[in-house]
Amino acid sequence: MAEASRIIYTTLVPCFRPTIQRTHLGHPHLSMPRKHQIHCSVSANASGTTQASVVDTIPWGCEIESLENASALQKWLSESGLPPQKMGIERVDVGERGLVALKNIRKGEKLLFVPPSLVITSDSEWSSPEAGEVLKRNSVPDWPLLATYLISEASLMESSRWNNYISALPRQPYSLLYWSQAELDRYLEASQIRERAIERINNVIGTYDDLRLRIFSKYPDLFPEEVFNIESFKWSFGILFSRLVRLPSMDGKVALVPWADMLNHSCDVETFLDYDKTSKGIVFMTDRSYQPGEQVFISYGKKSNGELLLSYGFVPKEGNNPSDSVELSLSLKKSDGSYKEKLELLKKYGLSASQCFPVQITGLPLELMAYAYLAVSPSSMGEKFEEMAAAASNKITSKKDLRYPEIEEQALQFILDSCESSISKYNKFIQASGSLDLDVTSPKQLNRRLFLKQLAVDLCTSERRILFRAQYILRRKLRDMRAGELRALKIFNGFRNLFQ
């Protein structure tokens, strides 16, 4: 089943510090049911690396996301103030469980109307007021605060007013947080999203460790370790990553919106959740019409397939996502005589000696080209180094078409070499994986290994497709450039022979 929540953010979860600032932006989730609930924890060892272990699942949430527990949620919401809806929960082709139109829905119509009293925010009342006061007194940011709030309410089971909502949440959120280190290494070796997943896991671990050391250990009666541990925090952060939304009309407040997170994602729609001051509820405005029986979709944001897998645990069909991209890694050569000088300038603009750039099917970004120029530029162009580094970081906007004709061929070849190196890694993985054509929209029929393997094959196939296109463009540009140089050389030789 897929449930909606999109989150747009540029950094991962911050490790807790009382003064930390968040840079997360949000909107509506797609989670996918699995028959085999294997809960893998990833913990940091003394060397700072991660390792996996298999543990029992947490005691709350639903193991199999059925219509029954979703219907119980709908009944509770209706009794708690949710007005009659034009949508109902039904089994669907995409995500197993979703919201389907019960009546004709017009384009531009506002749907949902979830009242603020049924929305979870940092201002929500705690069933354990003392715990909430401790966190707020210590200025815990919204993300860790909401993660702790979810665990606190979930552990109270039926004593919490949110029990019906939490009971309908997946016991194991379907993001890369739940892939073990071995699974990440095995299935995502070719994709840069593997590094993003490891970084996210370590951020969650770091956030939990900070809370444990600064707060939980000082108030063990309020935050017992058997409840507030790394496994429960992986669960709560998995829920937040996949369901938390930011509501622009409520001063950017982040929130969990029950019922709205039953909506599935479609790459063909752009509608998102917001607070409507007129109806005083959380709504979204449709950007297409729906007939009775049709599934109603929402956008999780303009995300690549890798980002959708990272947070939501699914990969759209190849070619269906116009926002898809692949991260291409470029690196300075340590043999470069100007290596130290270039590296210092890159660091000045927040970049490193090895940098990833998103490449889309439509072409290469200016930042990638600028980095390539810097990487291949000779020491004689030293006065241009800073301009190149700034352009690679997108810190300058004056030059829309940054070009250095004297080194353009070398820069294009440099990018092509990196592109073809990445393609070879994708080819190796896909060939080793064999032929798979499994329906990952109905993963209850698959075992875990096949499910993860199919997701990885789908992701790698879509990312390789973009690299193939980039390879074609680069080869064509280089061919045309070299053909032009050859023609110019022939003309020059012709004139030289004429005057001999």
User: Does residue 208 have a known ligand-binding role?
Assistant: no
User: Does residue 300 have a known ligand-binding role?
Assistant: yes
Pairing of strands 39-44, 50-55: antiparallel
User: Does residue 493 have a known ligand-binding role?
Assistant: no
Q: Which residue has tokens 């032929």?
A: 435
Number of other CB atoms surrounding residue 63 within 10 Å = 14
Q: Where are the alpha helices (DSSP H) in 354-407?
A: 366-376, 385-392
Question: 358 CB contacts (<8 Å, ≥6 apart)?
Answer: 304, 325, 326, 327, 328, 365
Number of other CB atoms surrounding residue 291 within 10 Å = 9
Positions of E strands within 135-294 = 245-247, 253-255, 264-265, 274-276, 281-285
Amino acid in position 247: L
Q: Where are the alpha helices (DSSP H) in 244-364?
A: 305-312, 339-348
User: Does residue 178 have a known ligand-binding role?
Assistant: no
DSSP designation for 261: G
Sheet of 274-276, strands arranged across: 110-114, 281-285, 274-276
**CA angle (441 as vertex; 2, 88 as ends), nearest 5:** 40
Nearest Cα residue to 237 out of 167, 296, 311, 295 = 311
Nearest Cα residue to 83 out of 32, 40, 117, 36 = 117
User: Does residue 275 have a known ligand-binding role?
Assistant: yes
User: Does residue 261 have a known ligand-binding role?
Assistant: yes
Question: Burial code of 81-91, b = ≥16 C-beta within 10 A, e = fewer?
Answer: ebeebbbbbee
Question: Burial code of 479-499, b = ≥16 C-beta within 10 A, e = fewer?
Answer: eeeeeeeeeeeeeeeeeeeee
User: Does residue 174 have a known ligand-binding role?
Assistant: no
3-state secondary structure of 66: coil
Contact 244, 146 (CB under 8 A): yes
Residues in the chain: 500
DSSP designation for 156: T
Number of other CB atoms surrounding residue 255 within 10 Å = 26
Element (H, E) at 453: helix 448-498
Separation between Cα atoms, residue 463 and residue 129, nearest integer Å: 48
The dihedrals phi and psi of 355, each to the nearest 5 degrees, come to: -130, 140
Q: Which residue has tokens 């470069």?
A: 336
The tokens describing 352, both together, are 């490193």
- Binding-site members for S-adenosyl-L-methionine are 243, 264-265
- Binding-site members are 243, 261, 264-265, 275, 300, 312
- Binding-site members for substrate are 243, 261, 275, 300, 312
